[in-house]
Structure 1
């Protein structure tokens, strides 16, 4: 089967071999240089970070570290192992991902030895090897025959990367770096900060906010940030809340484009895939807005696996895994086309090992994708696809290892619970339509969900023109189907089943762009066709806006509609209007194709663009909401939501960190984290800012908590502590201090310090008589226990 890459493609946006010409000089050289957009993006990012209280010096230090300590060694190894003839930006983006993997594994070894700065052996050793071994010196330069990206492509990808930075404003303005602006993040951020602190000081890692709880989790991002903190001296809080996610997001956007270009051969397909992955979301035809919880997090009305919502920042494991998975797929494309390459499979294995510990959702989806290739080749061609079999074997080994070693054979609360995503989703929750989990109403929501997915990935229809897509595309389809199926069929006590469709989203998007490629005459995107497609995207946006304007402004529910039948109509009709509009446009195009030559061969492609416009309208609204909220409430340091970090905890925690041993055990009276006036077990801030292990602070988001949540059929935040005797001993020292209660913490449990939140109502004023006060800030007090 001939791939688009093999076909002649004189696309105006693609690279063609041109005769050598004199290089431009002076101002023209600057304007046409690939460094100009990158430099402007870096300058804009530095200015934005400065506005959000990260000094330019800190940004420079972080940039130098990232360039020399992570990207440089990763790029050198990428060029060697991939035998890459990629262009510079592709090599650097993939090198950043591979550099992260190398850094994580070296840091784990260094931390086990008690020498965390030994992580610098990764860049230093790599540079030495590639300088001293003559045959490796050529990898300091890119391949002489590497393709050169068109200038427009470079600017488009820079703009897309810049949009991820602008999106981050939504997070930055709500997640401050000092009190009171750091007091109202979601609990996920203190959870992740606690684990970064654990990775800074201990390996193997355990759950630091309770005692004797193993860490069965995808934890590789925490050693990465811990290594960054050790090398640069930057506070983990600044890395987590400001710096570390940005390069991951930007490199992810670039690598998706590189992957699409590798599959199709067209430069424009890379831009389209990146845009589709990031900005084409579930259409939202409603004028009313969802419950604030969902709008704050930028969750769409119906689940779409958006790669740009607040969980990108508050869930760094997903962001890290998403980045590492794309170069893995880039390598896999080549290995499925030519399986005889030991270096390539070595690179695949290394990247897969990184993905394995970065996020649990990816390897099962990859396994399903490769299994589909093996099955299709066997059924249709009666042959075994050796490349897919090798990849399947390596992936299976990684799955077994991760389940046994990293996850302890646990499911983390994930179980077969069909349509949970719709029960807990924005549309069903906001309107009350999912109340009672009535099957007929959930099926209505399922139909609407599938319609949204059709709008996003309508380009997949173009693949039907081929007898069988190439194995790489078939793998992506398998990943997409598995991700969509897992999202619909499973549930998890923390609603993490949504990460399956988020993990699959880039590969469904690339496959959809491949399908769109097939819908264009000869796969070419001349300027006239590009403008036509863009016009229909705008038309889709306008239609969605019109449906919104004509709709109701208040949230429909059983109270104001009078019956579930009326509520069903209120929910379904706006989506029906979008569907009718799409059918009408398609019919008009079919009639016009005989009279308008430009329409011939473009009908399906234009309909795909129209449906994409429906989804881009949602991104437009998300960015507009950032602008509106910022101009009306504040551009930064916005205190919004319930307080989860008390005054002085940051300062007292850092004092404790600086005046105690990493192995010292701490007890705290803070356990109850308020959420919607309820008490939850998701209290992590004392551990997060002290970087010290607690006897018991919170106990949520642990393996045992998820198991208990499933057993009790409740949310993981409401699980009672399963070791009540430890909790009772812990709290007695604060509420009823005495030589016996305080001594019990010291002698039985090995507690050395008390970290007190005086805003809690379980602290006796007599505590100071039995422990020595060492530091006080706000309502946070640090006590040292006397020796026995």
Structure 2
């Protein structure tokens, strides 16, 4: 038996529906538009509070709607043959619209006419108006389902929580000095690459000379295109506007994917909640190191989709959004036979894969592993090759090969086999110093606890064993999940980027876990009573964690505070053991209750008991999200809700103003030299200085040199963190710095004639700047300690 959308849970195809009367009934139009209207007003208000004028937000949304979402939605409906409902079409259309915008902008920027990116929406609208057969795609399918009102409110609530969580980022990432002075280095890194995308194609690493950009860089042309069309500053896009619609659409599409797999509306909400808010349990009564709490990390790596890195790392957010439509299209392709295959669907899949290949490097190798698992399972259990999986693997393989050979230049970016490196840098290990000197038994213990945390988050996977889990669409998600978990545990990278494997896999393990949870329910049906029971179990899980925290240690258990090794290990393991014991006792009590109730004729089976235990374990993880939100409120009450300055200064006084003056008074191809190379951390010089490149949108001879391909490879070779390696071209650095320390006609001429430098961007607060510099260069602008000089032509 099939679900209303033709979906099946697994091979036997039992439907999972909400069981609520009037599920397919249409809501009143005004009531249906109320949730997004409230969200829109709240978004305007929050952004205004964080110094984005309503007019700027309106311009951004106008372009987002007409320039990206509209053409994307029209093409999505065409390729998808108009089978979806409005919300699903718009969310997927936004993702497809981004792909079209990026490829159009790359071509437009390459020929030197960046505003030609508008050809993408204008040509699309013209075609869909002029061609009679395409006009029907302006309207949704007349028989398309409309989500029930509770589903709309639930997804709006999730989007509202994303908006509220974003305040954690907004409050400490200001837009003007001094409030913009203490971001993390990733933000200036990404801002520099947006500036590079605004003015050059192909892109290079702009903060050092002669360094090719081997990176997943597609998100930067997206923001560059938006900046050109709207006139909005790249910093405002990066730090305020661009990530919000990506995050919200991502949550919606995860819900749509779960709905497609199960047929139940409730599973979509559950999948979005598990993906975003069910994190690794934190049963400790003491706090992690401030850096980890600031970034909203759990004690052990869980691939969280909501931590500050989704803002300071826009490539992950962009890639995450683009990959969900890939999975939506792939599910349909895997359910077809080759003879029934929809050619439009395969074209759509190829287009989306092309976007993902430059969106984020982690997704295509995980998809390859997922498709290989589908082929292996089909071959072993059905003794045949799955044609759809084979075609999809071919398309994915081509995209993967192109990305590795062209976009990433066959480089490893410093990644390699480094088992358990993810627990070495885990918040729990670093805070307690349990990873000091890297004893193998300590690493093994932290790895075990990490896997325990994963079992709590994705315990619903157990339900897949009750029914056949060999359906291709489930197997591909399990393959993505297993390979993501394996890559996270077995690889390492100087920038700790192996974490992105589990983060990339997280939505698809979560969806599979929700499918498993649905399979545990009697007849796969959700009712209000069952929903209340599951919610009650989750609340019980939250209470259990808080009780363990309240009765546990309140100071960090480091070696110097512990009488012996055994006591140290006990303080780390005992809280998790208590949670495990509580779950085991809860399940045992439910099994006993099930036996007793079944004897009296009540329909309470082992599957229901297991489902309630899954909800209890999810409550363990929900408590971590609650603590993250409590931390936002607590910090905001203590330090303020906006313009908070904390941490190490990354951007100096005057950098923004001098950088923008230089941008406005120089040519995009002009090369700049600067004396600023170091960020001082713990008395050491870090090479992650990118702010002058970021705000000037100009290429530097050498500013910082970290976060480049060569830097990562050098870090791997030297066994050093990427932020502390020496520059591998010392002669260029020496020629650069000589002009600032002891300028002469000869070394100024070397900088100008040999390297092509036209401007000097000086930060006098760095020290060592000769007062004679003005003799050999013309001062053009000064803001605080930052001075812009122009070199006279030879």
Asked whether the two chains share a fold, i.e. TM above 0.5, the reply is: yes
Residues 463 and 469 in structure 1, CA contact (< 8 A), matched pair in contact too = no
Q: Hey, what's the Cα distance between the residues in 1 that align with 2:724 and 2:434?
A: 24
Residue equivalent to 1:632: 638
* Residues 255-307 of structure 1 deviation map (CA, whole Å, 9 limit, x = unaligned): 00000000001000000000000000000000101111111111110000000
Q: Hey, what's the Cα distance between the residues in 2 that align with 1:305 and 1:246?
A: 19
Secondary structure of residue in 2 paired with 1:745: helix
Q: Hey, what's the Cα distance between the residues in 1 that align with 2:469 and 2:434?
A: 41
Q: 2:34 aligns with which of 27, 33, 36?
A: 36
Residue equivalent to 2:517: 516
**Match status 1:465 vs 2:466:** yes
Residues 673 and 736 in structure 2, CA contact (< 8 A), matched pair in contact too = yes
**Match status 1:66 vs 2:73:** no
Q: 1:645 aligns with which of 651, 672, 680?
A: 651
Q: Hey, what's the Cα distance between the residues in 1 that align with 2:374 and 2:566?
A: 44
Relative to 1, partners in 2 of residues 1:15 and 1:513: Cα closer, same or farther, differing over 3 Å?
farther
Residue equivalent to 1:289: 287
Residue equivalent to 2:357: 356
Secondary structure of residue in 2 paired with 1:752: strand
Residue equivalent to 2:537: 536
Relative to 1, partners in 2 of residues 1:742 and 1:13: Cα closer, same or farther, differing over 3 Å?
farther
Residue equivalent to 1:581: 582
* Residues 584-624 of structure 1 deviation map (CA, whole Å, 9 limit, x = unaligned): 11111111124453743410000000000000000000000
Residues 779 and 788 in structure 2, CA contact (< 8 A), matched pair in contact too = yes
Residues 16 and 526 in structure 2, CA contact (< 8 A), matched pair in contact too = no
Residues 283 and 615 in structure 1, CA contact (< 8 A), matched pair in contact too = yes
Q: 2:772 aligns with which of 756, 763, 766?
A: 766
Q: Hey, what's the Cα distance between the residues in 2 that align with 1:567 and 1:507?
A: 36
Secondary structure of residue in 1 paired with 2:766: coil
Secondary structure of residue in 1 paired with 2:765: coil
Q: Hey, what's the Cα distance between the residues in 1 that align with 2:580 and 2:718?
A: 42
Residue equivalent to 2:225: 227
Residue equivalent to 1:12: 19
Residue equivalent to 1:165: 163
Secondary structure of residue in 1 paired with 2:669: coil
**Match status 1:274 vs 2:272:** yes
TM-score (norm 2): 0.97
Secondary structure of residue in 1 paired with 2:704: coil
Q: Hey, what's the Cα distance between the residues in 2 that align with 1:205 and 1:733?
A: 28
Secondary structure of residue in 2 paired with 1:437: coil
Residue equivalent to 1:619: 625
The 5 Å alignment of 1:553-702 reads 553-596=554-597, 597=602, 599-600=604-605, 601-702=607-708
Secondary structure of residue in 1 paired with 2:535: helix
| CA drift at 1:138 | 0.3
* Residues 124-164 of structure 1 deviation map (CA, whole Å, 9 limit, x = unaligned): 00000000000000000001111110000000000001111
Residue equivalent to 1:75: 73
The 5 Å alignment of 1:133-532 reads 133-338=131-336, 339=338, 340-532=341-533
Secondary structure of residue in 2 paired with 1:781: strand
CA RMSD of aligned residues (A): 1.3
| CA drift at 1:189 | 0.2
| CA drift at 1:762 | 2.3
Query: Structure 1 residues 380-389 or 557-566, which shifts more?
Result: 557-566
Residues 15 and 148 in structure 1, CA contact (< 8 A), matched pair in contact too = no
* Residues 197-250 of structure 1 deviation map (CA, whole Å, 9 limit, x = unaligned): 000000000000000000000000000000000000000000000000000000
Secondary structure of residue in 2 paired with 1:363: helix
Residues 17 and 264 in structure 2, CA contact (< 8 A), matched pair in contact too = no
Residue equivalent to 2:115: 117
Query: Structure 1 residues 681-690 or 556-565, which shifts more?
Result: 556-565
Secondary structure of residue in 1 paired with 2:762: strand
Structure 1 unaligned spans of 5+: none
Residues 14 and 266 in structure 1, CA contact (< 8 A), matched pair in contact too = no
Secondary structure of residue in 1 paired with 2:431: helix
| CA drift at 1:549 | 0.3
Q: Hey, what's the Cα distance between the residues in 2 that align with 1:205 and 1:668?
A: 21
* Residues 504-562 of structure 1 deviation map (CA, whole Å, 9 limit, x = unaligned): 00000000001001100111000000000000000000000000000010000110112
| CA drift at 1:7 | 4.3
Residues 82 and 137 in structure 2, CA contact (< 8 A), matched pair in contact too = no
| CA drift at 1:82 | 1.5
Residues 24 and 147 in structure 2, CA contact (< 8 A), matched pair in contact too = no
Q: Hey, what's the Cα distance between the residues in 2 that align with 1:473 and 1:630?
A: 42
Residues 297 and 311 in structure 1, CA contact (< 8 A), matched pair in contact too = yes
| CA drift at 1:564 | 2.1
Q: Hey, what's the Cα distance between the residues in 1 that align with 2:439 and 2:15?
A: 54
Q: Hey, what's the Cα distance between the residues in 2 that align with 1:124 and 1:13?
A: 43
| CA drift at 1:12 | 3.2
Residues 70 and 121 in structure 2, CA contact (< 8 A), matched pair in contact too = yes
Residues 276 and 304 in structure 2, CA contact (< 8 A), matched pair in contact too = yes
Secondary structure of residue in 2 paired with 1:212: coil
* Residues 303-339 of structure 1 deviation map (CA, whole Å, 9 limit, x = unaligned): 0000000000000000000000001100000000014
Q: Hey, what's the Cα distance between the residues in 2 that align with 1:17 and 1:781?
A: 65
Q: Hey, what's the Cα distance between the residues in 1 that align with 2:662 and 2:444?
A: 53
Structure 2 unaligned spans of 5+: 3-7
Residues 13 and 267 in structure 1, CA contact (< 8 A), matched pair in contact too = no
Q: Hey, what's the Cα distance between the residues in 2 that align with 1:721 and 1:608?
A: 51
* Residues 445-484 of structure 1 deviation map (CA, whole Å, 9 limit, x = unaligned): 1111111000000000001112333111100000000000
Residue equivalent to 2:721: 715
Q: Hey, what's the Cα distance between the residues in 1 that align with 2:641 and 2:628?
A: 15
Q: Hey, what's the Cα distance between the residues in 2 that align with 1:222 and 1:615?
A: 33
Query: Structure 1 residues 338-347 or 547-556, which shifts more?
Result: 338-347
Q: Hey, what's the Cα distance between the residues in 1 that align with 2:630 and 2:162?
A: 14
Secondary structure of residue in 1 paired with 2:419: coil
Relative to 1, partners in 2 of residues 1:784 and 1:611: Cα closer, same or farther, differing over 3 Å?
same
Secondary structure of residue in 2 paired with 1:602: helix
| CA drift at 1:576 | 0.3
Secondary structure of residue in 2 paired with 1:170: helix
Residues 280 and 618 in structure 1, CA contact (< 8 A), matched pair in contact too = yes
Q: Hey, what's the Cα distance between the residues in 2 that align with 1:637 and 1:261?
A: 41
Q: Hey, what's the Cα distance between the residues in 1 that align with 2:24 and 2:238?
A: 44
Residues 257 and 273 in structure 1, CA contact (< 8 A), matched pair in contact too = yes
Q: How many residue pairs align between the two structures?
A: 779
Q: Hey, what's the Cα distance between the residues in 2 that align with 1:712 and 1:419?
A: 19
Residue equivalent to 1:705: 711
| CA drift at 1:653 | 0.3
Q: Hey, what's the Cα distance between the residues in 1 that align with 2:673 and 2:433?
A: 42
| CA drift at 1:8 | 5.3
Residues 58 and 234 in structure 1, CA contact (< 8 A), matched pair in contact too = yes
Query: Structure 1 residues 103-112 or 461-470, which shifts more?
Result: 461-470
